Amino acid sequence: MEVLVGKKAGFCFGVNRAVEICLNEINKNDKTTYCLGELVHNKDVINNLKEKGVIFISNIDEIKEESARLVIRAHGVDKEIINQAKERDLDVIDLTCPLVKKIHDIAEEYCKKDFFIILIGNNEHPEIVGTKSHCGKNYFVIEDEDKVLEALYYFQTSGIKNLLVISQTTFSLNKFDKIVKDIEEELDSSINIIVKNTICNATEERQKETEELARQVDYMIIVGGKNSSNTKKLFEISEAYTNAILVENSKELDSNLFINTEKIGIMAGASTPFEIIEEVRKKISEKE
């Protein structure tokens, strides 16, 4: 049996940065460290941080101390939350990925220039929730192709003549291109439309490599959080070409599934630590 592990599998730059800085902050041992929501979408990483003393909360009102540290997750949060934390004099460690921050800046810039903003992504995803807070009042979130006409209805009834299209960093590149094409086909030439592909390189490269791997193996194993958007996309891509399974770690993996399988590909989401990928690889390899 041949096992191929994707070169782009595992922690991306933004996740690595968030986890490392968070660990350094805990080591200071001076005050309680809280994190709003999951720092990154991976249970093993979160459990490790909990063991080291990080308290995960869903609302800053849960912080009762006057002096505490608040860590902001890699996907970012609603800007009002950061304002409230600063007003309370909390020590804010903003670990929003710089690439997500760049999208916030683009949204703010075009909002000031009187653009209607179409955000392509998952409406409930923490990153989109945060980005929406930088879009002013004139925006619409498109999750799928079937929402294009509804988005354009809101755009056209707003009376605005400028349209900005941006996307969640972890959105599928193929879907993004398709939605942009549909939008452009529906609009007449009097509309000033600016499209910015804000899908991050790490996501794009990982998705491309996943497709390449999936095309050449009999089974793809995707390792990552089941609540991770970028991991789920890797699974969807794999499924389109071969047999695929999504597991959070090696314990969830039944290696009997791969009896008589000649070639297996392993890919992992951006929040999956290297050790977990390695455990999965070992478990399958030991089966030989």
Q: Are 129 and 96 in contact (CB under 8 A)?
A: no
Which range of residues in 12-20, 54-62, 107-115, 158-166 is near ligand SF4 by CB under 6 A?
12-20
Q: Is 246 helix (H, G, I), strand (E, B) or coil?
A: strand
What is the spatial distance between Cα 222 and Cα 232, in angstroms, rounded to a whole number? 9
What binding mask, one character per residue, do residues 72-91 give for ligand SF4 by CB under 6 A, x or -? --x-----------------
CA distances from 194 to 236, 264, 282 (A): 29, 41, 47
Q: How many CB atoms are located within 10 Å of the residue 230 CB?
A: 27
Looking at 3, 5, 9, 12, which residue binds ligand SF4 (CB under 6 A)?
12
**Residue 167: which of 117, 235, 239 has the closest Cα?**
117
Taking CB under 6 A as the criterion, the residue among 167, 169, 228, 231 binding ligand SF4 is 169
Task: Tell me the closest approach of the beta carbon of residue 139 to ligand SF4, in angstroms.
Answer: 20
Instruction: Work out whether 35 is an interface residue with ligand SF4 (CB under 6 A).
Output: no
- Tell me, yes or no, if 127 is annotated catalytic: yes
Q: Both tokens of residue 98?
A: 């710089």
Q: Taking the complex as a whole, how short is the minimal distance between the CB of residue 202 and ligand SF4, in angstroms?
A: 4
**Residue 193, SS3?**
strand
In angstroms, give the least distance from the CB of 16 to ligand SF4.
8
The verdict on 97 binding ligand SF4 (CB under 6 A) reads yes
Residue 264 binds to ligand SF4 (criterion: CB under 6 A): no
Binding piece for ligand SF4, criterion CB under 6 A, among 7-15, 30-38, 185-193, 217-225:
7-15
Tell me the two tokens of residue 121.
Answer: 């992504």
Alpha carbons 18 and 93: distance in angstroms, whole number? 10
CB closer to ligand SF4, 122 vs 230 = 230
# of chain residues touching ligand SF4 (CB under 6 A): 15
Residue 83: CA count within 13 A, CB half-sphere:
6
Residue 283 contacts residue 250 (beta carbons within 8 Å): yes
What is the rounded distance in angstroms from the CA atom of residue 262 to the CA atom of residue 264? 7
Q: Which of 170, 210, 228, 231 binds ligand SF4 (CB under 6 A)?
A: 170
Give the catalytic positions in this structure.
127
Q: Which residues bind ligand SF4 (CB under 6 A)?
A: 12-15, 74, 97, 99-100, 169-170, 200, 202-203, 230, 270
